[in-house]
């Protein structure tokens, strides 16, 4: 097939292309950062198909992407979709913001796109254990439609309490190696 999966993405040696992303998670409590870690993601089949359709076949681009969190002890698989991610992962709704948080990215530069200048903030309103995050096209918490682009299980779950904040930065890179 000409590709191999590796940490954080896909590598296609015969085509000399590598693409993948990472979530940077910052855990805040009382205004102080108590933890920070990087987590590699998978770009799911639906996300790959969407990208190919937009780039090469004139498919409709998603105007706004959204970040979500999940509390299920779940490891994302390539076949999960925007229609199934909420149930499969037990999407959390235990935050004060009324929708999934907008992924406010900057224009791609140096073959990278990120929301590092405008991180997504989730203000928790209950005690929960958070296992991972995802990027989808639907803003509605628990949505069963839209396009899922990527998802990640954190290397270690995060225990949060009410008023904690989880700040998410998602960075997607592509390179011709």
Counted domains in the chain: 1
pLDDT class of 1 with cuts at 50, 70, 90: very low
Q: 41 lies in which domain range? A: 4-176
Percentage of the chain exceeding pLDDT 70:
90
Q: Is the pLDDT of residue 12 over 90?
A: no
138 pLDDT more than 80:
yes
Q: What confidence tens digit (pLDDT) does each residue in 86-101 have?
A: 999 999 999 999 999 9
Q: In angstroms, how far is the first alpha carbon of the chain from the final one?
A: 18
Q: Environment class of residue 151 by beta-carbon count within 10 Å: exposed (0-12), middle (13-18) or buried (19+)?
A: buried
User: Mapping DSSP to helix (H, G, I), strand (E, B) and coil, where does residue 53 land?
Assistant: helix
In the chain, which residue ranges form alpha helices assigned H by DSSP?
45-56, 85-89
Alpha helices in 61-151 (DSSP H): 85-89
For 68, 79, 99, the CA distances from 91, given in Å and listed in that order, are: 7, 17, 12
What is the secondary structure of 10-30 as a DSSP string? EEETTTTEEEEEEEEEEEEET
Asked whether the beta carbons of 151 and 170 are under 8 A apart, the reply is no
| Average pLDDT across the chain, whole number | 92
Predicted confidence (pLDDT) per residue in 156-176, tens digit: 999 999 999 999 999 999 888
Of 133, 143, 138, which is closest to residue 168 (Cα–Cα)? Answer: 133
Is this prediction's pTM over 0.95?
no
């Amino acid at each position: 097939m000409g590709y191999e999966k590796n940490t954080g993405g896909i590598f296609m040696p015969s085509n000399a292309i590598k693409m993948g992303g990472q979530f940077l998670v910052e855990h805040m409590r009382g205004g102080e950062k108590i933890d920070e870690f990087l987590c590699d993601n998978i770009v799911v089949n639906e996300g790959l198909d969407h990208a190919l359709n937009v780039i090469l076949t004139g498919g409709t681009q998603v105007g706004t992407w959204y970040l979500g969190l999940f509390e299920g002890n779940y490891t994302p698989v390539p076949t999960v979709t925007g229609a199934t991610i909420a149930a499969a992962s037990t999407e959390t709704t235990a935050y004060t913001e009324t929708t999934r948080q907008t992924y406010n990215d900057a224009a791609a530069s140096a073959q990278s796109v990120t929301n590092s200048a405008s991180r997504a903030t989730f203000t928790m309103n209950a005690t929960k254990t958070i296992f991972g995050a995802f990027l989808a096209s639907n803003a509605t918490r628990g949505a069963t439609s839209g396009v899922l682009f990527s998802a990640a299980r954190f290397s270690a779950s995060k225990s949060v309490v009410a008023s904690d904040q989880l700040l998410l930065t998602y960075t997607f890179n592509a390179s011709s190696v």
